Amino acid sequence: MFEVGAAVITRVQETNLPSYPLREIFPDFTDEHLAEHEHWLAPHHYEAESGRIRLAVHSWLVKIGRKTILIDACCGNNKVKPGRPFWHMLNEPYLERLAAAGARPEEVDLVMCTHLHHDHVGWNTRQHNGRWVPTFPNARYVFSKQDVDYFAAIDADPREGPAELGTFRECVVPILEHGKADLVDGGPCRLDEFIEIEPAPGHSPGHVVFKLESRGERAIFIGDVWHHLLQVYYPDWNFPKNSDADQARASRRKVLDYCASSGALVFPGHVGLPFAGRVEKATSGYKPLFPP
């Protein structure tokens, strides 16, 4: 659990597993990089035996004022994930963990997705009588309009769809059809007195970050602006999946600048233990402060 001003923030885990081979994800990674960083990489960010990076998948439960907010909704159970055996057909007690963190589904006021990739929308819906319905029946869902439009176009194209391994149809479209979605569009906008939504496109066209400020303290929920702490040291290193690789790099540097200058506590979507931390400016760029 973390506290930022009046906000209480709790991590809700889905998985935390070795995933992709490090040298496939970051082809510029060399033995020299390993020698420089191996003292912190293993065991929480890298599995030395397999050569794979560790990626956590989690939501952030935020309680502030009278609101209970869930940021990002993981992969979901029983989802077919071709090429991703570590996320294929999961059977995780996610909702039980959410309850242990302090919220039952009906108590969530807002579900806010940084973007609409399959590992951030999975628990938006659940199956009921053979249909996908909102998991959080009393919540409004905050989506980026750019992402909705982008993935809807892919989903409608028989050469490309279904979008995001089918999760756009299963986990986003039902929210739109139930009239539960609030679409944010364009530049920065303020959700309330505590939270500002700011564009950070590139990983997806409508990727956003959520900035929180309370009692003079700051936090930022960055989704997939970076997946791994190596990208703080090397901001030009992208994960392979991006809608616009150059834009992803520009957004990463912009967010890193904000993190380093503001002292905000950073809450990424996939970084391992301790899961949240800070970023400082270094002589050659940036340095993550995520002590184990």
DSSP letters spanning 44-105? TTEETTTTEEEEEEEEEEEEETTEEEEE-----SS---TT-GGGTT----HHHHHHHHT--G
pLDDT at 30: 96
Provide the pLDDT for residue 63.
98
Taking only the tens of pLDDT, the chain with its 292 residues reads 999 999 999 999 999 999 999 999 999 999 999 999 999 999 999 999 999 999 999 999 999 999 999 999 999 999 988 888 999 999 999 999 999 999 999 999 999 999 999 999 999 999 999 899 999 999 999 999 999 999 999 999 988 889 999 999 999 999 999 999 999 997 789 989 899 999 999 999 999 999 999 999 999 999 999 999 999 999 999 999 999 999 999 999 999 999 999 999 999 999 999 999 999 999 889 999 998 7
pLDDT of residue 195: 96
Contact assessment for residue 135 and residue 103, using Cβ atoms and an 8 Å cutoff: no
Structural domains of the chain in order of their starting residue, each with its CATH number: 2-289 (3.60.15.10)
Q: Are 36 and 248 in contact (CB under 8 A)?
A: no
90-93 long-range contacts, CB within 8 A, separation 24+:
90/14, 90/15, 92/14, 92/15
Distance CA 131, CA 201 (A): 32
Residues 115-145 pLDDT 10s: 999 999 999 999 999 899 999 999 999 999 9
Contact by Cβ (8 Å): 112, 267 = no
> How would you classify residue 223: left for phi > 0, otherwise alpha for psi between -120 and 50, otherwise beta?
left
Per-residue pLDDT at 167: 96
Q: Which of 189, 113, 204 is nearest to 150 (CA)?
A: 204
pLDDT per position as a tens digit, 223-247 = 999 999 999 999 999 999 999 999 9
